[in-house]
Structures are given as structure tokens and as C-alpha cells.
Amino acid sequence: MTNVTLPTTPARTAVSPQLRFWGQSILLSLCSGMLMGLAQPALVDMGWLAWIGLVPVLIALAGQPVRRHLWIALPCGILWSIGAHAWYPAMFGWAGGTLLIVATGFFYAALLQAGMALASRLPPSFHIFGLPIGWTGLEFMRTVMPVVGDWWFEILAKTQWRFPAALQIVTLTGWPGLSFIIVLANAALAALLVAAWRKRIVWPAVIGLGSVALVLAWGWWVMAPSPAETVRIGLIVDLANQHEPTQQAVLERDIGLTRMLAAQQPQLVVWPENELVTVADPALRLAIGQLAHELNAYIVADMVWPTPAGRYDTAVLFGPDGAEVGRQAKINVTGEERAQGFSAGQRRFPVYPTSLGTIGLGVCYDRHPPDITRQLARAGARIVAMPADDDFAANPWFPRAHAADTVVRAVENRVAFAVSNTSGIALVVDPYGRITAESGINQMAALIGETFVSHEQTLYTLAGDWFGWLIAGVAGILMLTQRPSAPAL
């Protein structure tokens, strides 16, 4: 009998532990990136996800050597950046915008790496504080350093622009304090989950999470009932840049939209950033003055102010008597505006007492950096009015990113804020950060919002970025003086 050797089925090759580790880590990182991307204002605007979004990637990083952290965190950073900066291609083109989105993803991943590296230098009981200290310190330093301070990387705090209770901490600390407690909540949750897997309790994490809960409870408590007396503010979105009409057509459209608000008796009306001819144009001034007198309201219009020192994009305030009350040249001009011949306004911050409260002015991008609104509030402004133009080829994602700036600036300084837009979002924000009027994105509109006027000057208004500098200093000292002790978490 002939022996026949039957073919055997090859044994399955076992997946190596190293490959399994990287696969699991990348999946957790992608999960965090998706959650953090969804939390950003631009695309989906589910800000509550920021409080838990970092937990999966922090679990993936737990106990791993620092040299692996950047590569584990990078998928998270890139997905996060897509959610935060989907509007980059509208500004920089598809190639340049995509490259910048990836570069910003590296920045977010580097923040995670730096925070975990700092955590490893602290005693195990204090590991959970390393990430919020490292993250907040570097995030703040990026905004105040030369050159990179002008780069528009979305900050973590802006995810909470629709959550007034969380926003109240910024009256003390500015936006870095809100970023700190968001990262602390994530670090504490991740530490508790890792500890539960190991069947133990990490009491510092419990205390950290309890501290976050106390801050949020204080935020709800501090928002006392608003005073009965309010100011009615009219806003318009005229879509002027998308339709490209003549300046006369823009003026007629803005007058028509404003008259639609007459029955609601607005006390202040803000127009978009249309650069309506020059401030010296007699016909323009007469038309706006007559409208202000007709409505018995203040009107803020955006015009061109030519001077020997430069040509300025300027917000001009007219009173109910039709006369000019004051003006403010735009301080933060874009490269495109410079190419069109506009100069940056002087860093001076006049404010104008009115029957509604003291009014401060600015234009569009002036609401993005914190210091301009802070200087207006220091000078006594209780209402800040800014014409704006958020048109990037009718991009639907950028307007919410810019609107979030408005809300954070209002709360930091306890000022009411009013913004009208050529396109994008027009909104009224009260001093607690509650949005009382909000237009649709890139939709023509005329709407009214009411706000009270606060006479409180916040610690942040008075002391500025003390918290950001403190956290950055603590992070630097710890990195220079402490040796790595054990992997974080």
C-alpha cells in the first residue's frame, strides 16, 4: 500500500504583540480625533464631547514611553484638526489648506506628547495635573509668541462657546483656565478608567474631577438673574460680498434691512464690514444720520477713513440726532487688506458714553485676539460693537469659529457684544455669554437681540493673562528641574 502524504493546512501566524499594540493604540487615537473634531465649532459643534474626547488617546498613551507618544497621538491630532480647520482650504487653497491642517494636527499631537512628558516628571499622585499644565502652558505660549501668535490654530476653550456655565471661569483666568479644566477632566477620567481596569482607585483623579464639577457648578451659580432693563440691538447680514453690488446698492440694502427692524424699536443697530465709501462723503453721512434720527437709535457703520498716516477700515458710531459720536480704525488687518491699501489702526482704545452705556468699537478680526476687547473694557466699554465680514467664498464652516471668539471675549470682560456680518453669522451676546440673537450662516437677515449691561470689571480685564503666564512658568520650571519618574497614568 502506497503511503500518501496529504497536504496540511498552514498554521495561522499569530499577530505579534507589537502589531496588536500599535493597532489598538491607533484605533483609540482615531476615536479621540473623531470626538474632538466633532466638538469643534466649525463642522458639527458638539462642544460637550471635548470633556471626554481625549480619554481614548490618553488610555492608549498610558504607561507608554514618551518616545512613542507623538506617533500614537498623531492620528488624533490630524482628525481633530480637520474638524477644527476645515475652512483652511477656502483661505489657502486645497493644497496649502490641506498641508496646514496636517501641520496643525502635528501641533495638537505635540501638545499631548508634551503634557504626558510633564506628567511623567511628577510624583504618581500628581500625574493627572501634568497634562493640563503642559497642554495649557504651550497652548497659551503659542498665542503670545512672535509670528506664531498670528496663526489661527483653534484653542480648546472655544469648544464651549455654547456652554455658559463652563465659560464663567474665563472671567478670572481668561481662556487658558477653561482649556485647563477641560484637559483636567479628560486626564482624570482616563486615570479612573485605567485604575478601574487594575482594580484600584486613584484619589487625585477623583479630587480633580470633583474640582471640575465645582467650577461648573460655580459657573451656573454666578449667572444671577439679568437686570430687568435691557438694550435692544439690531443686526443685519446683507450678503454684499457675494452679490458684488455697487456701494450705493449696498447702502440701500442696509437701509432697507434696518427699516425692517423699526417696529421692534432697536436702540443700537450694527451694520456689516462694507467699507462704505469714505467717512467724509456728505451724501453717505446724511443718509446714515437721517436713518439714525428716524429710528431714534445709534447706528454703527463701516467706512473708509483716509488720513495722511494711512487708509483705515473704520467703525463709525452715529447718534440718534444723526451726528457722529466717534470712530475706531481696525487694528488687526489681514494681508489681503494691506494689499488693498489699508493700514492697521493705532492701538488706541477710545470709548463713547451713550444713553445705553459706554460703547467700544472694533472691526471684524479685532474680536479674535483677546487684548483688544480687554483694552476696550479697561477703558470702560460695556457694549462692544463690531462690523464684520466672514466671507471666504461663502464657506459655511469659518463663521462659527469666529462667532465663538465673540462669545469668549464677551464673558472674559463681562461686556455685551454685537456683531453684524456681510456673510457668516450676526449675533448679540450678553455679558454671561448667552447668545440672544443669532442669524443663520450666510443667510440674509435682519434681527433683534436683547442684552443687559454689566458694570462689573472682571479679574481678567484688570489682570490680563496672569493665569496663562503662571501655567506656562510652572510648566517650564517643572520640565527643567524634574526628572522623569514613571510613565503617566
Q: How confident is the model at residue 18 (pLDDT cuts 50, 70, 90)?
A: low
**Type of residue at 29:** S
- CA-CA distance, 456 to 453, in Å (whole number)? 9
H-only helix segments in 224-348:
240-243, 247-259, 282-295, 335-339
Output the CA angle 313-315-318, nearest 5 degrees.
145
Count CB neighbours of 148 within 10 A.
Answer: 12
Q: Specify the pLDDT at position 230.
A: 92
204 and 263, same domain (yes or no) = no
For residue 321, the enclosing domain spans 231-452
Residue 50 CB partners (closer than 8 Å, separation 6+): 36, 39, 156, 159, 160, 182
Residue 12 lies in a domain: no
Tell whether 428 is covered by a domain. Answer: yes
348 close to 419: Cβ distance less than 8 angstroms: no
pLDDT at 481: 81
**CA 482 to chain CA centroid, nearest Å:** 33
> Do the domain assignments include residue 489?
no
Looking up residue 328, the CATH number of its domain turns out to be 3.60.110.10
Question: Are residues 71 and 212 both part of a single domain?
Answer: yes
Q: Taking a C-beta distance cutoff of 8 angstroms, is the pair 312, 343 a contact?
A: yes
**Quick one: 116 and 189 in the same domain?**
yes
Quick one: pLDDT at residue 415? 97
Report the pLDDT averaged over residues 345-372: 95
Q: Is the pLDDT of residue 335 over 60?
A: yes
Do 301 and 431 belong to one domain? yes
Judge if 295 and 207 occupy the same domain: no
pLDDT above 60 for 1:
no
Tens of pLDDT, residues 72-101: 999 999 999 999 999 999 888 899 999 999
- One domain for residues 199 and 152: yes
Would residue 346 count as lying in a domain? yes
357 and 243 share a domain? yes
Residue 76 and residue 198 in one domain = yes
Average pLDDT of the chain, as a whole number: 90
Q: What is the DSSP string of 453-488?
A: ------HHHHH-SHHHHHHHHHHHHHHHH----S--
362: confidence class by pLDDT, cuts 50, 70, 90: very high
Whether 292 contacts 319, CB under 8 Å:
yes
CA pair distance 418, 209, nearest whole angstrom: 35
- The per-residue DSSP string of 205-246 comes to HHHHHHHHHHHHHHHHHH-PPPPS--EEEEEEE--HHHH---
Q: How many angstroms separate the CA atoms of 369 and 465, rounded?
A: 12
Residue with cell 463652563: 166
